[in-house]
Structures are given as structure tokens and as C-alpha cells.
């Protein structure tokens, strides 16, 4: 897989990927990361990348032609990536659709992803409508730029690539992998600040441990994320577990 970042701040992105699983996945040849700076295509003497918004108002808006020039340089301009192709050009956008674990799974099967990172007041709307296949948000809050959202999505995708994590079964219990939150985890010591590890986890009874974990996962989701719980597909055993 090839992951490109179109960003005014390449140094915010590439060094952050030189750690942990993203680093190991790159070293193993599972993924390659590249960054392209739209400023490199600016033509005026100040190397401007933004301008005032038409209609007035605060802030500056990143200009679409420089994003197009960056996409052309890396061969990801419109026409090179139909929406159903194995390449996606993703605008990082707080007004976009919320990125979920399902997206991470779907994107982990692509050949190429290009993240377009906005800054300042945002990007000219025509970057979204003419240049990108998707507009995705990482949450209902506004960050300074698209670099952190692009890194979040990259991390979520790369850890799902076959071979990126030693034991792929570890994904199965992750929060959001089956629409529920993950169960609590414990390791040594047995006692910590007056709290003990639940007896069932020490019992060696794998069936009971699995039932306990499933119940905790259901209870946690119901308590912390009623929105997810409402959409969860519960089995008759789940209903029994919740009592
Ligand atoms: C300060 S924000 C612009 C916010 C924009 N004026 C709005 O109200 O939607 C600058 C850039 O950060 C990125 N960004 C900020 N928050 C984000 C989020 N929650 N998800 C994805 N990208 C985000 C986007 O690329 C955005 O263009």
C-alpha cells in the first residue's frame, strides 16, 4: 500500500510514522509513506498557498490549484482514481463523514490512499468537489490542520494490514471491531490500589472468561455509548448475559 500526504507540514507527518507499528509495517514493505507540499508549486515570490475568502470573513483559504498541482505530481489527479478504484483521495474535513473502524477495514484493502490536509480556515470547496473521492472527519471537534486526522486514520488502517501486527486475533476484541466497545484488560500485579483482578480471569475456565468478557463489553457499550448499543446486533446469548 502507498499512503501519500498532501500537506504544508510534511515534518509533522513523516517523523510521526517512524515509530511502533507504522514503522515496522514500512520496514516490512507493507506500506510506503510519502509527503508532498503544495507550497512547492506556488508561483508568486512569497510562495503563497492561501488567499482571502470570497464574500469576506476571517481567516485564509487554501487554494485549489496548488492542491491539484501536488496531486498531479504524484499521479493522483482526477481521472486517475475513480471512486470505485483501489485508490482514494481523502480530504480531511471536520464537515465530512465520520471515519469509523469499518472505514479502516475497507481502506486497509486499497492499494493507495492520498490524504489531503487542510490548514488555516480550510480549503477551497472545489478541492472537495473536484479533487477528492471522500471527505472524512475524525470527530466532532476542530483541529488546526488535517495532519493529525490523517495520522489517526493512517494508524487505524496500517495496523489492519495483514502482517502488521503479530497476532491478528488481537483485532477481534478491539473496541468498534464488532460494533461494541472492548472488554477491560488486567495484568500484574494482582492487587493495585485496593482493586483486585476479577477471580474469573484467574480461573483458567476459558468458556467463563469469554462469557465474562462479552458481558463486560456489552455493559460498557450500553453505559458509555448508548448510540452504538442501540445499533448493536445482540444474540439471544447476549440478552441472557445482560440479565
Ligand atoms: C481549522 S480547520 C478548518 C475548519 C473549517 N473552517 C470548518 O469549520 O469546517 C483546518 C483544517 O483542519 C482539518 N481538520 C480540522 N478538524 C478536523 C476533524 N475533526 N477531522 C478532519 N479534519 C479536520 C481540515 O483539513 C481543515 O481544513
**CB distance 22 to ligand 1 below 6 Å:** no
**CB distance 95 to ligand 1 below 6 Å:** yes
Q: Homologous superfamily of 2-158 in CATH? A: SPOUT methyltransferase, trefoil knot domain (3.40.1280.10)
Which residue's CA lies nearest to atom 6 of ligand 1?
Answer: 121
**CB distance 12 to ligand 1 below 6 Å:** no
CA of 116 to the centre of ligand 1 (A): 11
Average pLDDT in the 83-101 region?
92
What ranges do the domains of the chain cover? 2-158, 173-242
Average pLDDT in the 206-234 region?
97
Q: What is the pLDDT of residues 15-51, one digit of tens each?
A: 999 999 999 999 999 999 999 999 999 999 999 999 9
**CB distance 142 to ligand 1 below 6 Å:** yes
CA of 65 to the centre of ligand 1 (A): 19
Q: What percent of the chain has pLDDT over 90?
A: 91
CA of 122 to the centre of ligand 1 (A): 6
**CB distance 7 to ligand 1 below 6 Å:** no
- What sign does the CA torsion over 224, 167, 114, 80 have? negative
Q: What is the pLDDT of residues 145-187, one digit of tens each?
A: 999 999 999 999 999 999 999 887 777 778 888 899 999 999 9
pLDDT at 114: 98
The burial of 139, by beta-carbon neighbours within 10 Å (0-12 exposed, 13-18 middle, 19 or more buried), is given as: exposed
pLDDT at 85: 79
106 pLDDT more than 80:
yes
CA of 139, closest atom in ligand 1: 19
Instruction: Name the pLDDT band for 138 (thresholds 50, 70, 90).
Output: very high
The H-or-E segment that residue 3 falls in is: strand 2-6
Contacts with 181 (C-beta within 8 Å, 6 or more apart), sequence order? 175, 217, 220, 221, 224, 225, 228
pLDDT at 110: 96
Residue 96: strand, helix, or coil = strand
pLDDT at 99: 98
pLDDT at 211: 98
CA 183, 186, 189 angle in degrees (round to 5)? Answer: 170
Q: Is residue 189 reached through a cis peptide bond, with omega within 30 degrees of 0 on the bond before it?
A: yes
CA of 14 to the centre of ligand 1 (A): 20
pLDDT at 180: 95
CA distance 116 to 92: 6
Contacts with 150 (C-beta within 8 Å, 6 or more apart), sequence order? 5, 7, 13, 90, 92, 115, 117
CA of 144, closest atom in ligand 1: 1
- In residues, how long is the chain? 243
Strands (E), 52-183: 61-62, 87-98, 112-116, 134-137
pLDDT at 136: 98
Average pLDDT in the 220-229 region?
97
Nearest to 91 by CA among 173, 44, 154, 146: 146
Decide the pairing of beta strands 112-116 and 87-98. Answer: parallel
Average pLDDT in the 225-236 region?
96
CA 7, 13, 14 angle in degrees (round to 5)? Answer: 115
What is the crossing angle of helices 147-158 and 20-27, to 10°?
60
pLDDT at 84: 60
Instruction: Name the pLDDT band for 83 (thresholds 50, 70, 90).
Output: low
User: Which residues on neighbouring strands pair with residue 113, listed in sequence order?
Assistant: 3, 88
Query: What's the CATH architecture for 173-242?
Result: Orthogonal Bundle (1.10)
Which residue's CA lies nearest to atom 15 of ligand 1?
Answer: 143
**CB distance 93 to ligand 1 below 6 Å:** yes
Which of 122, 137, 147, 148 maximizes ligand 1 atoms within 8 Å of its Cβ, making it the mutation to test the pocket? Answer: 122
Residue with the bigger pLDDT between 196 and 79: it is 196
Nearest 10 degrees: Cα torsion 75, 80, 81, 82: 170
Mean pLDDT across the chain, nearest whole number?
A: 95
Which residue's CA lies nearest to atom 25 of ligand 1?
Answer: 118
Average pLDDT in the 129-151 region?
98
82 pLDDT more than 90:
no
Amino acid at each position: 500500500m502507498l499512503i501519500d500526504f498532501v500537506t504544508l507540514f510534511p515534518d509533522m507527518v513523516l517523523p510521526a510514522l517512524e515509530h511502533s507499528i507504522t514503522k515496522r509495517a514500512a520496514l516490512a514493505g507493507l506500506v510506503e509513506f510519502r509527503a508532498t507540499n503544495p507550497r512547492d508549486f506556488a508561483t508568486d515570490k512569497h510562495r503563497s498557498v492561501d488567499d482571502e475568502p470570497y464574500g469576506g470573513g476571517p481567516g485564509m483559504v487554501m487554494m485549489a490549484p496548488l492542491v491539484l498541482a501536488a496531486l498531479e505530481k504524484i499521479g493522483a489527479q482526477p481521472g486517475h482514481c475513480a471512486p470505485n478504484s483501489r485508490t482514494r483521495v481523502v480530504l480531511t474535513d471536520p464537515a465530512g463523514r465520520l471515519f469509523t473502524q469499518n472505514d479502516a477495514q475497507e481502506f486497509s484493502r486499497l492499494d493507495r490512499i492520498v490524504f489531503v490536509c487542510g490548514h488555516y480556515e480550510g480549503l477551497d470547496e472545489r478541492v472537495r468537489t473536484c479533487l477528492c473521492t471522500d471527505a472524512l472527519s475524525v470527530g466532532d471537534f476542530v483541529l488546526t490542520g488535517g495532519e493529525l486526522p490523517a495520522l489517526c486514520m493512517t494508524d487505524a488502517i496500517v495496523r489492519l494490514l495483514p502482517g502488521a501486527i503479530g497476532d491478528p486475533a488481537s483485532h477481534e476484541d478491539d473496541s468498534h471491531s464488532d460494533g461494541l466497545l472492548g472488554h477491560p484488560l488486567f495484568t500484574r500485579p494482582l492487587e493495585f490500589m485496593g482493586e483486585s483482578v476479577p477471580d474469573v480471569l484467574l480461573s483458567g475456565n476459558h468458556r467463563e472468561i469469554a462469557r465474562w468478557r462479552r458481558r463486560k463489553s456489552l455493559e460498557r457499550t450500553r453505559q458509555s455509548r448508548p448510540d452504538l448499543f442501540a445499533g448493536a446486533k445482540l444474540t439471544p446469548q447476549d440478552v441472557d448475559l445482560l440479565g
